[in-house]
Amino acid sequence: MHTKTLAELSLGLRQREYSSVELTKYFLDRIAKYDDKLNSFITVSSDTALAEAAAADKRLSTNEADILTGIPLAHKDLFCTNGIKTSCGSKMLDNFIAPYDATVVAKCKAAGMVMLGKTNMDEFAMGSSNETSFYGTVKNPWDINTVPGGSSGGTVAAVAASLTPIATGTDTGGSIRQPSALCGVTGLKPTYGTVSRYGMIAFASSLDQGGAIGHSAEDVALLLNVMTGFDKRDSTSIEIEPSDYTANLNNDIKGLKIGLIKEHFNEGLDAKVNQVLNTAIKELEQAGAIFQEISLPHSHLSVPIYYIIALGECSSNLSRYDGVRFGHRCDEPQDLLDMYKRSRAEGFGAEVKRRIMLGTYVLSAGYYDAYYLKAQQIRRLISEDFKTAFKQVDVILGPTAPTTAFKIGAKIDDPISMYLSDIYTISCNLAGLPAMSVPAGFVDNLPVGLHLVGNHLDEARILNIAHKYQQLTNWHRKTPIDFC
């Protein structure tokens, strides 16, 4: 059953080929069998999952169920879940039991979906390799000696190994798309504001966005139908008409104009990855798409600009973790200041501390104008570059990551090299644009991702292109041999 698409699983539930309880047990058994190799889950909520599955079966028996009723999923462990630990991959929140559900979690519950558990992640979503988690490194199912990418590495590894058919993730600078590329699955970050951030523990508030991770564009579109929508509890949520992201999946792409980012096809891109992408471009050309070169002249500034803005926001957001109200508190503090210092020193890992210190620096009185304000100005220029590009083309295409998955430990002591892993994805977050990674082939038995970027609120178009590409190829159906 783990090779079926969401549509196929849903049809099987409706035709009574199996129950949601049976389906849920099947995936729980796969987690029990395989996750020791991957470390993709922090919490497996078996009892809750089986109770939700039983409730889903009752809904299914009435023929009033939604299309995803009874389908198991996993949530990245920064979506608050009522009564179940939400850790953010950090010792700081190792004892935190959320008293409410995030909007995304509540929407999935309302649709009758079944939560298998909470997936591992880089601590507070800060990382590109899933090596900063308090709960240990996640392994890539295609080669357990390599990283799965991050920060949604646990989520993506679980989907790639078919421990869950679908899952939620978050993307601040590429944290859905980069690991999706490294693990050979499909991941989409929608337009900023289309998925509520209420109950999604913040890293950088102007960049964070929830999204969907699955095997195919159709699977992602089905989950996106559930996740999106206005939420008055989130001040960044945008009011838009409800969309069916599956409605235009089969539209013809003949005559569609696709821009190739010349700054991304340069010496920084691995030559073998480039060959895979060129093959994908030819396949889309044969389907009728028209390609032309475009320029994003400020894209080379994306990484430094991102790490000024994101770190400034993270230092502000993480100031709430002080050992007073919730989270880790040190033992026997001598006084209030000692409690603050030791609770934060013990609760946060090295990468989080590095980012808090840098963020505090760029927001400080003497440096705010020189760094943070200037970064916001350049952010506007990056956004304008995209606006200019979308006057020429319908969609933008490029590589998701400059290389395939790298060895565990290869970059952990070189933060600059690690940060450059997201060099092709960061600009979309700075501009608030929808973007997704689609499996496009392999280099030395490791997956390569194709990056598609749409204009604001144009998720349907990039999903359409991804779906048509996946009808021409079968890369998205490949499964790591050890997890068949």
pLDDT (tens, 9 = 90+) of the chain, 484 residues, equals 899 999 999 999 999 999 999 999 999 999 999 999 999 999 999 999 999 999 999 999 987 899 999 999 999 999 999 999 999 999 999 999 999 999 999 999 999 999 999 999 999 999 999 999 999 999 999 999 999 999 999 999 999 999 999 999 999 999 999 999 999 999 999 999 999 999 999 999 999 999 999 999 999 999 999 999 999 999 999 998 888 999 999 999 999 999 999 999 988 899 999 999 999 999 999 999 999 999 999 999 999 999 999 999 999 999 999 999 899 999 999 999 999 999 999 999 999 999 999 999 999 988 898 999 999 999 999 999 999 999 999 999 999 999 999 999 999 888 888 988 899 999 999 999 999 999 999 999 999 999 999 999 999 999 999 999 999 999 999 999 999 8
**CA-CA-CA-CA torsion for 233, 85, 219, 406, nearest 10 degrees?**
120
Backbone angles phi, psi at 291, to 5 degrees: -105, 145
Half-sphere exposure of 105 (CA within 13 A, CB side): 26
Cis check: omega of the bond before 20, within 30 degrees of 0:
no
CB 277 within 8 A of CB 181: no
Question: What is the pLDDT at residue 398?
Answer: 96
Using the Cα atoms of residue 141, residue 147, residue 149 and residue 151 in order, give the sign of their dihedral.
positive
Give the Cα separation of 72 and 436 in Å (integer): 22
Report how many helices (DSSP H) and strands (DSSP E) the chain contains, helices first: 15, 11
**Residue positions annotated with a catalytic role:** 76, 151, 175
Question: What is the pLDDT at residue 212?
Answer: 98
Fold for the domain defined by 6-255+393-483: Amidase signature (AS) enzymes (3.90.1300)
For residue 412, count other CB atoms closer than 10 A to its CB: 17
CB 133 within 8 A of CB 94: no
The DSSP secondary structure of 70-109, one letter per residue, reads T-EEEEETTB-BTTBB--TTSGGGTT-B-SS--HHHHHHH
> Residue with structure tokens 């590009």?
389
- 316: tokens are 């502000």
> Residue with structure tokens 């295409």?
397
Give the Cα separation of 418 and 439 in Å (integer): 22
Question: What is the pLDDT at residue 425?
Answer: 97
Give the Cα separation of 250 and 96 in Å (integer): 44
The DSSP secondary structure of 308-336, one letter per residue, reads HHHHHHHHHHGGG-SSSSSS---SS-SSH
Bridge partners (DSSP) listed for residue 407: 146
Where in the chain are the domains? Answer: 6-255+393-483
Question: What is the pLDDT at residue 63?
Answer: 77
Give the Cα separation of 59 and 55 in Å (integer): 7
Question: What is the pLDDT at residue 355?
Answer: 95
The DSSP secondary structure of 171-190, one letter per residue, reads ESSSTTHHHHHHHT-EEEE-
Fill in the DSSP letter of residue 261.
E
CA distances from 149 to 69, 157, 312, 356, 417 (A): 30, 9, 23, 22, 13
